[in-house]
Every structure is written in C-alpha cells, then in structure tokens.
C-alpha cells in the first residue's frame, strides 16, 4: 500500500512539473519618456519600446491614458516570444505648461498591468518679430 501511495505521489509531482503554464512577459526599454522642453505645437508623438521576454505570445488588450490630451495606440497583433513591439503615445502639444501623464497597459503578461509615464514641459513660441 505504501508503494502505491508513493508511486501516485511521484506521478502527481511529475505531472505538476510538466504542466506549468507558459507565460508572456513584457519588458520596456524605459517606463518613462521625457519630452524635455518642447515648443508649443511641436511633434507630440513618442514611442515606448518593449520586448516579450516570456515563452508565450503577448497580447496587449487595453492601453489607456490619464486624460484626453494623451492618445495611446497599442499593437493589434500578438507579440511572439523574443520579439519587440511598441506603444505609440501622442500628446496634444498645444497646451503650454508641464506634462505629467500616466499610460496604463493591460496585457496577458505575468505582470498584467504596467503604468508608463510621460513628462516634460511645453513652452510658448517666442513672439514673431520680437527681439
């Protein structure tokens, strides 16, 4: 009887080890993009680059921003293991002042929610004709 229980236990242990689920893993080059000082009306598009360092396809299901002045764009297709992708962010640069916004990324990665940040400052254009 002890041998049967031992064999069953060993079988269950082996099954658990082989049944471990594969998972996607998202690693960003940087989690903060600094616009620095830019002029009003300048190009507000920046990119967050990432790699799927897991062993399953990465699916980004939702990307949202903390306000309507920041528009993120997620990849539509799954990112295969070892491959890279990008999340594009467009900030409305017609607003003068500091930039401090958050972008939330939801995916099937082992860490399903990541918060990215953009920062910087938009300066007014110098008045034309003034010296």
12: in domain: no
85: in domain: yes
54-82 pLDDT, tens digit each:
999 999 999 999 889 999 999 999 999 99
CATH number at residue 31: 2.60.40.10
60: in domain: yes
129: in domain: no
1: in domain: no
Structure tokens at 85: 């992708």
DSSP 53-111: -SSS-B-EEEEEESSTTEEEE--SSPBPTT-EEEEEEEE-TTS-EEEEEEEEEEESBSS
Confidence at residue 17, expressed as pLDDT on a 0 to 100 scale: 45
> Does 10 have pLDDT greater than 60?
no
> Does 102 have pLDDT greater than 60?
yes
64: in domain: yes
54: in domain: yes
Domain that residue 80 falls in: 21-123
18-50 pLDDT, tens digit each:
445 789 999 999 999 999 999 999 999 999 999
Confidence at residue 109, expressed as pLDDT on a 0 to 100 scale: 95
Q: For the chain, what is the domain count? A: 1
9: in domain: no
């Amino acid at each position: 009887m002890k041998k049967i229980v031992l064999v069953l236990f060993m079988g269950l242990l082996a099954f658990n080890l082989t049944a471990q689920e594969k998972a996607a893993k998202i690693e960003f080059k940087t989690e903060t993009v600094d616009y620095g000082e830019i002029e009003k009306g300048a190009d507000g598009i920046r990119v967050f680059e990432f790699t799927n360092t897991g062993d399953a396809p990465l699916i980004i299901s939702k990307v949202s921003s903390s306000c309507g002045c920041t528009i993120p764009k997620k990849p539509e297709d799954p990112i295969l293991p070892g491959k890279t992708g990008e999340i594009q962010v467009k900030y409305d640069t017609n607003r003068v002042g500091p930039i401090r916004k958050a972008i939330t990324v939801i995916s099937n990665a082992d860490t399903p929610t990541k918060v990215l940040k953009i920062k910087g400052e938009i300066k007014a254009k110098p008045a034309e004709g003034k010296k």
